[in-house]
Amino acid sequence: MRRALCAIMLFVASVDPSATLGNVGSPELDLSHYYSYEGVMDYLDTLAKDYPNRVFLKDAGRTYENRMLKTITISNGDGVPGKRTIFMDAELHAREWMTPMAALYAIHQLVVNFAENADLLKNFNWIVLPLANPDGYEFSRNSDRWWRNNRSPNGRQCFGTNLNRNFDVAWGQGYSELADPCTESYAGSEPFSEAEARLVRDIMHELVDNGSGTMYLSLHTANRSMFYPWVYESSPTRNHHELKEIARFATDRILRETGTQIKPKQAYYYGGMVGGTSLDYAFKVGFPLSFVFEMSGLAFGVEYKFFPPPTAIRRLTAETWVGIRALAEKAIEKYPPGRAIPAIQRKPVSNRAPGSQDLNILVGLLSTLLAYVASHLTS
């Protein structure tokens, strides 16, 4: 039945790629174009307004350019405590425009199309950060489409840190560009120097500490791969066979239902050793399941990589949902409520992602300082 539904969805996409996704009276997800930052925020706000019993939004932090880092928590609304959690983020890399669209598609399936996906929310809640790098995303959309990093200044007229090299696991290890503040691989001045990476870390820590963190999934484009740890070393994880089984289950489902081949593998064996990734960090701190889904950039027989045409958005997001759903099914199967998740000790951290209150204090201090300097310059 699911295969038939997927085929119907893909057929509709090819016939009418500009059609919106939504039921009568429900919020529509417009898949005819790439959403702006404001469009993503507005869509999340609409869902929270229309589904207050199952959706909770949080302004979880602010970027260097004062954009919101907004998370959405999705439940089935039954109020049962102690459920496990799937945490998904998208758009750590600015030029990967398809990833926030795929995240919004997944959110839409879980919220608006809840009846079809209620099994994914029976014993699990979802937390989704659909736009993890809004500054970089807007810069990529409007100024330099190949931009990869965030937009924090590094000095010497160089900007941006690669957020997926800023995590505290083998940080700075791999290749020389990680230390160069003028490259797209720059790992930052120190681990978690960037607010966006700190927010992802803080969510991970909270979920691990409360015992609910089960699967971390980060959406990327466009290598058509399903990665699992480790990236920073070649040795397998303690549950390597479980990760491999789940990744293969998802990629087999995608191939069977869409015809697209996604390669499952330990990330180290794709591009070699590199440190500072969210994939490794999630597993290191206690998520038993951690994956990077490198989505396809193929459209109409052409490899578009990061920038498929808008007419391909519906098909590619539907294809990605097939994989996301398969991963979730296996996570739920492997980690039922009765299975214990091993606790992992870690060092406490003090720096956290700046919230709106922190930002207001900082702006106030800076304004006072500027006023003081100005008054002394003119006196």
Nearest residue to 124 via CA among 48, 60, 207, 47: 207
pLDDT of residue 344: 86
| Side-chain half-sphere exposure of 127, counting CA atoms within 13 A | 23
pLDDT of residue 154: 97
Asked if residue 81 lies in contact with residue 212, where contact means CB atoms within 8 angstroms, the answer is no
Asked if residue 264 lies in contact with residue 244, where contact means CB atoms within 8 angstroms, the answer is yes
Q: Which residues contact residue 155 at a Cβ distance below 8 angstroms, ignoring those fewer than 6 apart? A: 181
Q: Pick the catalytic residue: 91, 196, 294, 319?
A: 294
CATH, residue 208: 3.40.630.10
Q: How confident is the model at residue 23 (pLDDT cuts 50, 70, 90)?
A: low
Q: Note the pTM of the prediction, 2 decimals.
A: 0.87
Three state DSSP letters for the chain? CHHHHHHHHHHHHHHCCCCEECCCCCCCEECCCCCCHHHHHHHHHHHHHHCCCCEEEEEEEECCCCCEEEEEEECCCCCCCCCEEEEEEECCCCCCCHHHHHHHHHHHHHHCCHHHHHHHHCCEEEEEECCCCHHHHHHHHHCCCCCCCCCCEEECCEECCCHHHCCCCCCCCCCHHHHCCCCCCCCCCCCCCCHHHHHHHHHHHHHHHCCCEEEEEEEEECCCEEEECCCCCCCCCCCHHHHHHHHHHHHHHHHHHHCCCCEEEECHHHHCCCCCCHHHHHHHHCCCEEEEEEECCEECCEECCCCCCHHHHHHHHHHHHHHHHHHHHHHHHHCCCCCCCCCCCCCCCCCCCCCHHHHHHHHHHHHHHHHHHHHHHHC
* Arithmetic mean of pLDDT over the chain: 89
What is the count of structural domains for the chain? 1
Please name the residue that has the structure tokens 């996704």.
21
Q: How confident is the model at residue 347 (pLDDT cuts 50, 70, 90)?
A: confident
Considering the chain, what percentage of its residues have pLDDT values greater than 90?
80
- Give the distance from CA 257 to its chain's centroid: 24
Q: Does residue 294 have an active-site annotation?
A: yes
Phi-psi region of 321 (alpha: psi -120 to 50; beta: other; left: phi over 0): alpha
Asked if residue 83 lies in contact with residue 75, where contact means CB atoms within 8 angstroms, the answer is yes
pLDDT in tens, 25-64: 578 999 999 999 999 999 999 999 999 999 999 999 999 9
Considering the chain, what percentage of its residues have pLDDT values greater than 70?
85
Asked if residue 260 lies in contact with residue 295, where contact means CB atoms within 8 angstroms, the answer is no
Indicate the residue type of 322. V
pLDDT in tens, 177-211: 999 999 999 999 999 999 999 999 999 999 999 99
The whole-angstrom separation of Cα 87 and Cα 207 is 9
Cα R_g (the chain), whole angstroms: 21
Range in 7-11, 96-100, 174-178, 213-217 the model is least confident about: 7-11
42: tokens are 């507005």
178: tokens are 């990680």
- State the residue range of the domain holding 65: 2-378
Asked if residue 154 lies in contact with residue 134, where contact means CB atoms within 8 angstroms, the answer is no
pLDDT of residue 25: 58
Asked if residue 178 lies in contact with residue 50, where contact means CB atoms within 8 angstroms, the answer is no
Q: Which residues contact residue 378 at a Cβ distance below 8 angstroms, ignoring those fewer than 6 apart? A: none
Per DSSP bridges, beta strands 263-266 and 225-228 are: parallel
Return the number of other C-beta atoms located less than 10 Å from residue 35's C-beta.
Answer: 22
